[in-house]
Structure 1
Amino acid sequence: MRQTLLTSIVCASLLPAAAWAQTQTVTGRVTGPTGAALPGVTVLEKGTSNGTSTDADGRYRLAVPTSATLIFSAIGQTSQEIPLNGRSVLNARLQDASTDLSEVVVTGSRATEGRSNILTTAPVDVISAREIKAFAQTDVSQVLTYVAPSFQSSRQAIADGTDFVDPASLRGLGPDQVLVLVNGKRRHNSALVNINGTVGRGSVGTDLNVIPTASIKRIEVLRDGASALYGSDAIAGVINIQLKDDSTGVTSTGYYGQTVESDGKTEQVDINVGIGLNKRGFLDLSGQLLNRGYTDRSFADRTPLIYLGSGGAYPASANTEEARRALKAQDDALVAANGYDRRNLRVGQSATRNFGGFLNGAYRLGRGYEVYLSGGASYRTGKGSGFSRLPNQATQSDLTIFPNGYLPFINTTIYDQSAIVGVRNTFGGFAVDLSNTFGRNELRYDVSNSVNASLPQGPGIVNPMDFYAGRLAFLQNTTNLSVSRRFMDVGPLASLNVAAGGEFRYDNFLIGKGEYASYINGGRRINGAPTASGAQVFPGYQPQDEVNKGRTNVAGYLDFESDITDKLLVHLAGRAERYSDFGGNVSGQLGARYSILRTVAVRGSIGNGFRAPSLQQRYFTNTSTQFISGLPNQVLTVNNDNPIVRNSFDDPSQRGFGVGSLKQEKSKNYSLGLTSSIGRTFTLTVDAYQIDIRDRIVLSSQFAKSNPAVTPPTIVDQILAGRDVSRVQFFANAVNTRTQGIDIVANERLPLGENSRLTLTAAANFNKTEVTSFNSTSSTINNDQTVGTGNLQNTLFDRQQRTRLEYGNPRSKINLSAAYTRGIFGVEARTVRFGEIRSADANPARANLDQTFSAKWITDLTLNAQITKQIGLAIGSNNLFNVYPDKIYVNPRNDPNNFSVDPNLSYSSSLDNSNRGRYLYSANQFGFNGAFYFARVSVSL
């Protein structure tokens, strides 16, 4: 933090000692799409009430500071915001509101003035505040999933912290390969690292859902690699959330909905207030309360034995069909006598409650200086279940407390804070912006309705059922200085925008231990067999897990954008970075757009990018309980610096896998596209892309100890000797991948009379990610000659992990939508096709358990009415036709009524844990809540 402060002081001292900018009179003319004058247009200085209107010839005159931004607006026209940048003459051309399809965007370029999203060198989606509120979705990740085909996020179940922080993907890549900005400034990541069997396993993403939708003016999604512009993480693209900047008015919405199964109750109340600051600035305040209930789409537990046997399986003594039938009958009698509910699992979204607030403001101090501030805070609690512990699983239970088994819960509390402060001015024609961005995310774990089975049990002993299991925290502070200027008629160039800047960033990651009882091994044994350590479902972080690590990063960048001619736009960017923990990187990008015809253009880009290994990936370590083939395992996740990972097996004094330290992922991005604007109402963009990633960081598959009763000790047994775990996993630059795809977006807006309009959109993304090769410099792994699937090379990234990476997200998504308005009434309809996904077993011998889950169409519908100018009503549905994903098929050999099968099968698979959760919760296209109905009332004052 001391270095951050020092950098801020140094950057401030570099500001040019230019004369103070003064207020000036600006003049101009406003015209319509045909070039005709527009009288009566309001010209307003942004953030103030200082304004005027155009005369009969469309001309205006207004006194404003040289750094002001002017807003041009009129009934029936689309508003425009144009920075003055010291000019004394500023003309504007407005488009008809019913036909404007080319929103001005700022993401993907450092030009002083934004361009239409069909005039940029890279594809950018723009999601307006109206679209965010149009349908049933209430949080940012779900809004983007249904609006932007290239974006995918689905809520996970039974996945520890990932139940509460949705992993998100852009263009089929990982959650940590998309950069999130707020008001153009880098946003901090979540503290959570996804270590369970979900999409995005091993990644660290950004929690989009802490930002209230009421605070968002629009979202810009840049679908192109942008590391040369913004630095690490922007391999797949950039999501820039622009906050509202209103200076007047109050808007508020109330929302209620639930599923067709009468669960998943969702209540939301939000408010947004715009305040003018004495004609010199604005303050926009937003708040949100969101309460979401859990859903449960589980099925009856198909485990043959609930009370008898071991772990639900038939004992070896029941070796005949008659014996198994008799034992099953006894067990069924106990189930009936004790009122045991075989629907003993929750498969669905977790319950959560979120309180959040955001602010965005700016104020002119005089002499051209403007200070700005934005930020927010949120407090979110959540409750999600694990797998149920059966009455016959004594090594994971305290039968004096839970004679009929139990369902343990993970309870999370997520704290998130952020703040952006900055000052900007214009010196000698250069726009100078100095800012500091702070962000912190903390996730606290508590476990309830659980036990530490290793603690002593018996009369007079009261064991805890609730545990504090520890916390994760991530902090980021970024100081940035940028300078830009637009030059006109520079030699043969029609225009040249030059931007340069520097950045200093500090990151910190922390793991705090849980209470003693949450992780201790109390030493209890049953018939000589050890019992499970720590709180069941989530053992607490141990003292040896505690981490408090930081790093710094220094970066500098240059950016040039030029209209070489009226037809050719060229963009060139370069960035150099230096990290204190692993070294440096240089990225570059070249983009261009060429107009073949007035209405048709080609665009494309080529560049290289990178992603720095996150601190979470470098230093995370813990022990967790994970169910594999229906049985609980204590899984150790160790950080990359641990001797288990780093030391080579060749050293007789050490036993480790010999894996090298983490380094940055490196990418090469290629894109080529076509844009077309036909007439005044139709636009089409088609963009193909290829992204090659080298040294991609993944969480390895789990290296398991051998069963000494079956096989002799292995290398893994020696490495894990003396540790109370059965499996180990770690992070490594293990694979190289190639992602190819195409994005298609078509829009049509048709005026159907004075009071009606129809908007049609068709958008699609088709993508394919493939693992092209594997990386391993480990002599231990490379020289392992174990025969069969136990080979360490096969385990480093097994077929289950590969399938999840390649097929865990839909390889295609199609969005068809229509919005019709007539007078005060409106209809919004949308159907989204989520493409197929696949799952696979880690063991090739169990390939019969692999499954493809077919594509599904999900249809949303909203009916709305603007009752008065102040009050609007809407009712509608998400998943109107109650569509569910495919169920996990039951292995025919696991038919519970067929007692002649091999009793060692235990009626389980690695995919569905005894068939208790019949929907694929580890990867899914759109969740499994079914139809959801809602009503919303909006008030504007």
Structure 2
Amino acid sequence: MLRKNRLTLAVSAAMGLGAAAAIPQVASAQEGALEEVVVTGSRISRPDLEGANPVTVMQRSELNMMGVNNVGDILRNITASAGSATNTNVNNGGEGRVTFSLRGLGANRTLVLLNGKRVVASGLGADDSVDLGNIPTAMIERVEVLKDGASAVYGSDAIAGVVNLITRRNFQGFEVNGYYGEYGEGDGDTESMDFTLGVAGDKGNAVVAGWWNNQKTVWAGDREYSENDYWWKPYWQPNNPRVPGGSSAPPWGNHADPTTGNRYTRGEEGGDWRPRTSADNYNYQPVNYLVTPNERWGINLAATYEFGDFGFLEDVAFKTDGFYSHSESQTLSAPEPLAPLVFFGVPAPYSADNWYNQQYGPKNEAGETFEIDDWRRRMEETGGRASNFQTETYQLHIALEGTSWNWDWELAGGYGENNSSQYLEGYFNLDRVAEAVGPTHFDDEGVLQCGASPDAAIAGCVPLNIFGLPGTENQVTQEMLAYVSKNYNAFTNGKNELKSVTFAASNGDVFDLPAGPLGIAFGLEKHWFDGSQVVDTNQLLGTSTAGVSQNTGGGYDVEEAFIEFNIPLLSDLPLVEYLELNFATRYSDYSTYGDTTNSKLNLRWQILDSLTFRGTAGESFRAPSIPELYQGQFRTFPVAVDPCATDANANCIANGVPAGGYDSGGVTQIPSDQGGNPDLEEETADTYTFGLVWEPDLWGGTSMTLDYWDIDIKNPVTVAGTQTRLTGCYTSGAYCDTIQRFGPETSVWGNIITVGDLNTNAGRIETSGVDLSFQTQFPETAFGIFGASLDWTYLIEYDKTEADGSVKSHAGFYWDDNGNDFGDGMFARNRGLLTLQWMMDNWSASWRTHYTSGVEENLEGLWWHQGPGENITQRSIESYTTHDVQLQYNIDQWNTRLSLGADNVFDEEPPFIDSAFAFNTDHTYTGSIGRFYYARITLSF
């Protein structure tokens, strides 16, 4: 089989492993000696693992110190993470997935491997990133994070770096884990159970793990910081630092007289119609999930069988690993704000000849019923907008390994598939809404019917009364809801598929050079990627308030060849203990856009026994993904401001805006159509790292690494952004052809129907920074063994050049206006993780401190800061520090380990973020909603 190299504690520390490796685990289940491995970032077998690439390794013992149950939440603790990545604390758009964004470059630019092999994308279909929730911690031996571009070694997607999840293979025995946790407020219960069974014989071994995890709900209304929607210092109240915001579509109605533009409401308490003010906005926060319910279960397998020798085929072995994961999750948002014209671009005027309008609707200044073009009503009677997700993901990888003429070889194939379904509730058919608010009449039996007369009656239609308050006798009835909902739940079905074939060979000792042996690895690979997403008819036709979306379907394949050389240059000289050069190159031919070649050069210079310099320079790339290429157009509602509304210049007028501008009615979420573009090209990147590794001979357990990194991405796949298009049209006429507006024949002349914002290659991303890692374990004392580690990342630069050529500096900022719901997220200058550990006899404890420095919040485009005499563009967000603690005790006679812990011990609230999409903060980077207690028990046999 492939010859691999033993991972030692000292080398692990040099690569960034904290002192957690020193904490022992329950000993009765025999893990065996650590499997000899090839470190992530190279394919060449070598006599040590201290290469030129900056790699962070988290051993199983360190994972056990954390009160989380999935790999994604573990990776979020890495200081090199930034930006935004989804997790189960993301309600709107979260889908129950867990992803990881290294360097803030996005989950799709961080390659995820399982035992060195690609993992199928997962989600709602036609996805471009891996759901890390599919990989249980029960099966993980260690996590290796390569913080450097690696396309020359692994191909596409490895621009920011690589996450390689190494599963347990040599485990022998039986282990069971039980876990329970909940927040200090008594909600958000999380339960999990898992087992691992490992058997071994003379010819091979097998490890099987089964797992189940269940996370329950937390409501936004159950946390003080999220119970209201807040606006920070709005222009009409500049001296008040924070006031309640809300939606302009409340359950008590918001209806406009098309003649005068006056808006009417009854207010939350009911009563007579009166002019509407901002105080009548609806607080939608409390009825949203803050933590989404999520249940997962699955099974993992890893097995090896050694056949032996067959002539020149020596040490032939069969190896396989795979997993199956089932997930069910739900999101719940506030009830639908039904505003057909302004929110969905579909005319559905509420007729003056509708009986409900005549009886209960507002009256004009003459006391007359009028037709209401722009009406808005929160449909609270539905109970909210629910999305129910169910996904199944499985992957199997098989390989034959062996040795021939001193070359280790592998012939492997893999197949992965992800299937998903999404069912939505609480949405409406806009065609039926238009029917239900049209003219009405009474039939011969005195029943109110849709249509102006019996001859124009609409069969089955139930007139809709939007003028009553929920909970009163005039509320929207279930019969009304059944008709406008068409008795259906919107749905989306999706699929991802990955097929791979690989041949690879490696020899770490081809022949001797004066400074040491030459190492070579080479191979051929082919991958097939396919994905699809199918939506219901109403989303296809744009008649559903669930959005306008088209089906997605497509695929591509890639053929690749790679080669890597490890060349020793000098050794045993003054100030040159050892000097080696590593060179890798890969040729990739894509069926979509053509071919590309990417290379990488690594240098490792061991100056002294205790001091090593390392550096890398490489080219990386990312091929356009299936959704970027083929995603059907869909409608989204990013926050943006149309400058043409208040200042209609010549460009605006040419685009269809009346000369005096128009009244946006306070709408801040602009309908925008996004989708795929089959003409996209690949992203390219230049990546550099330079650093020092220091391992002083103090007490045998100290190391420090210091690395500078630089990534320059050209031609990134992006959208220009709704705000960019609106501003560009206003200032120069650019993008005006992508903006559709209502015409003069409507009562909302000039308002935006939609902004076209399809994928494109444009702009540039340049980022750089410094990573520091220090760890030490002190000599044993009478009070036990103490250890400490510190990881720190300082972000020097993150400049994003937009499609219009403008440059947005992200370093030290929070950005949330990039043309989508979540924006780019948090880019703190400093992120730190301090870990303190103690062990004595059967006791051990750890204390972890997470620090994120304060940032400036970008407020451009938030209309509540852009009033008369006000133009606030940024505000300061305070730093955020949390502490986690855990205590473990081993009961030797029972082969049991008990763990008690608390995350966010001091119950720190996440910082207030004015531009965040929901909950007045961003859980994609904090991940914390309060103090969380947990207990874990491990039994081993």
Q: Please tell me the TM-score bracket, short chain as reference.
A: 0.7 to 0.9
Mapped pair 1:737 → 2:765: yes
Question: So what's the TM-score if we normalise by structure 1?
Answer: 0.73
404-413 vs 734-743, greater mean Cα deviation? 404-413
576-585 vs 613-622, greater mean Cα deviation? 613-622
Change (3 A) 1:840 1:191: same
Distance in structure 1 (CA, Å) of the matches to 2:139 and 2:35: 23
Change (3 A) 1:78 1:834: closer
832-841 vs 267-276, greater mean Cα deviation? 832-841
Mapped pair 1:225 → 2:249: no
Percent identity, aligned pairs only, is 21
Give the secondary structure class of the aligned counterpart of 2:290. coil
Question: Where does 1:483-882 land on structure 2 (aligned, <5 Å)?
Answer: 483-487=505-509, 490-514=512-536, 516-517=537-538, 519-520=540-541, 533-534=543-544, 536=545, 538-539=546-547, 541=549, 545-566=550-571, 567-624=578-635, 626=637, 628=639, 634-641=671-678, 661-679=679-697, 680-702=700-722, 716=736, 726-753=754-781, 756-771=784-799, 773-774=801-802, 800=818, 808-841=826-859, 843=861, 846=866, 848=872, 850-868=874-892, 869-882=894-907
| Native 8 Å contact 2:580 2:604 kept in 1 | yes
Of the three residues 142, 147, 166, the one matched with 2:73 is: 142
Give the secondary structure class of the aligned counterpart of 1:126. strand
Mapped pair 1:350 → 2:292: yes
Give the secondary structure class of the aligned counterpart of 2:76. helix
Distance in structure 2 (CA, Å) of the matches to 1:226 and 1:864: 38
The CA deviation string for residues 413-449 of structure 1, in whole angstroms up to 9 with x for no partner, is 1221111111011111111101112222233211023
> Match of 1:511, as an amino acid?
Q
| Native 8 Å contact 1:703 1:716 kept in 2 | no
| Native 8 Å contact 2:903 2:933 kept in 1 | yes
The CA deviation string for residues 508-557 of structure 1, in whole angstroms up to 9 with x for no partner, is 1212232x355545xxxxxxxxxxx31x4x3375xxx2333121101111
607-616 vs 829-838, greater mean Cα deviation? 829-838
Of the three residues 131, 134, 138, the one matched with 1:207 is: 131
Distance in structure 1 (CA, Å) of the matches to 2:524 and 2:387: 42
278-287 vs 402-411, greater mean Cα deviation? 402-411
205-214 vs 295-304, greater mean Cα deviation? 295-304
Distance in structure 1 (CA, Å) of the matches to 2:301 and 2:605: 40
Give the secondary structure class of the aligned counterpart of 2:431. coil
**Structure 2: unaligned runs, 5 residues or longer:** 13-20, 25-32, 221-225, 230-243, 277-281, 310-314, 349-374, 437-461, 464-478, 572-577, 641-666, 744-751, 807-814
Of the three residues 908, 917, 926, the one matched with 1:883 is: 908
Give the secondary structure class of the aligned counterpart of 2:570. coil
Deviation of 1:148 after TM superposition, in Å, equals 5.1
The CA deviation string for residues 24-61 of structure 1, in whole angstroms up to 9 with x for no partner, is xxxxxxxxxxxxxxxxxxxxxxxxxxxxxxxxxxxxxx
The CA deviation string for residues 842-870 of structure 1, in whole angstroms up to 9 with x for no partner, is 53884526444222111111111112351
Deviation of 1:454 after TM superposition, in Å, equals 3.3
Distance in structure 2 (CA, Å) of the matches to 1:98 and 1:404: 55
Give the secondary structure class of the aligned counterpart of 2:133. helix
Mapped pair 1:269 → 2:270: no
Mapped pair 1:168 → 2:168: no
Mapped pair 1:281 → 2:204: yes
Deviation of 1:773 after TM superposition, in Å, equals 3.9
| Native 8 Å contact 1:154 1:926 kept in 2 | no
Query: Which position in structure 2 is the counterpart of 1:108?
Result: 41
The CA deviation string for residues 346-401 of structure 1, in whole angstroms up to 9 with x for no partner, is 25222111112111111112322101100111111111123433588898899999
> Match of 2:96, as an amino acid?
F
Deviation of 1:472 after TM superposition, in Å, equals 2.5
Change (3 A) 1:177 1:70: closer
| Native 8 Å contact 2:304 2:319 kept in 1 | yes
Change (3 A) 1:102 1:190: closer
Give the secondary structure class of the aligned counterpart of 2:872. helix
Give the secondary structure class of the aligned counterpart of 2:584. strand
Query: Which position in structure 1 is the counterpart of 2:54?
Result: 123
| Native 8 Å contact 1:355 1:378 kept in 2 | yes
Change (3 A) 1:701 1:313: farther
> Match of 2:834, as an amino acid?
L
Distance in structure 1 (CA, Å) of the matches to 2:802 and 2:670: 27
Give the secondary structure class of the aligned counterpart of 1:565. strand
Give the secondary structure class of the aligned counterpart of 1:848. coil
Mapped pair 1:369 → 2:369: no
Query: Which position in structure 2 is the counterpart of 1:188?
Result: 120
Matched residue count:
762
Distance in structure 2 (CA, Å) of the matches to 1:78 and 1:690: 27
Change (3 A) 1:390 1:329: farther
Query: Which position in structure 1 is the counterpart of 2:27?
Result: none
Question: Where does 1:323-472 land on structure 2 (aligned, <5 Å)?
Answer: 344-346=286-288, 348-367=290-309, 368-389=315-336, 402=379, 404=381, 406-455=383-432, 456-457=435-436, 458=462, 462-463=482-483, 464=485, 466-472=488-494
Distance in structure 1 (CA, Å) of the matches to 2:925 and 2:673: 29
Distance in structure 2 (CA, Å) of the matches to 1:237 and 1:568: 24
Distance in structure 2 (CA, Å) of the matches to 1:705 and 1:565: 57
Question: So what's the TM-score if we normalise by structure 2?
Answer: 0.73
Distance in structure 2 (CA, Å) of the matches to 1:798 and 1:827: 39
> Match of 1:482, as an amino acid?
A
> Match of 2:214, as an amino acid?
N
Change (3 A) 1:738 1:78: closer
Query: Which position in structure 1 is the counterpart of 2:938?
Result: 938
Question: Where does 1:298-313 land on structure 2 (aligned, <5 Å)?
Answer: 298-300=226-228, 302=244, 303=246, 306-310=250-254
> Match of 1:185, as an amino acid?
K
Change (3 A) 1:486 1:103: closer
| Native 8 Å contact 2:7 2:36 kept in 1 | no
> Match of 1:173, as an amino acid?
L
> Match of 1:855, as an amino acid?
S
| Native 8 Å contact 2:173 2:940 kept in 1 | yes
Change (3 A) 1:714 1:490: closer
| Native 8 Å contact 1:577 1:585 kept in 2 | yes
Distance in structure 2 (CA, Å) of the matches to 1:438 and 1:120: 31
Query: Which position in structure 2 is the counterpart of 1:28?
Result: none
Deviation of 1:140 after TM superposition, in Å, equals 0.5
Give the secondary structure class of the aligned counterpart of 1:730. coil
Give the secondary structure class of the aligned counterpart of 2:148. coil
**Structure 1: unaligned runs, 5 residues or longer:** 1-65, 81-95, 195-202, 335-339, 522-532, 642-660, 777-781, 783-787, 789-796, 890-910
Could you say what the CA RMSD is over the residues aligned between the two structures, in angstroms? 4.3
| Native 8 Å contact 2:896 2:940 kept in 1 | yes
Distance in structure 1 (CA, Å) of the matches to 2:936 and 2:258: 53
| Native 8 Å contact 1:467 1:518 kept in 2 | no
Give the secondary structure class of the aligned counterpart of 1:131. helix
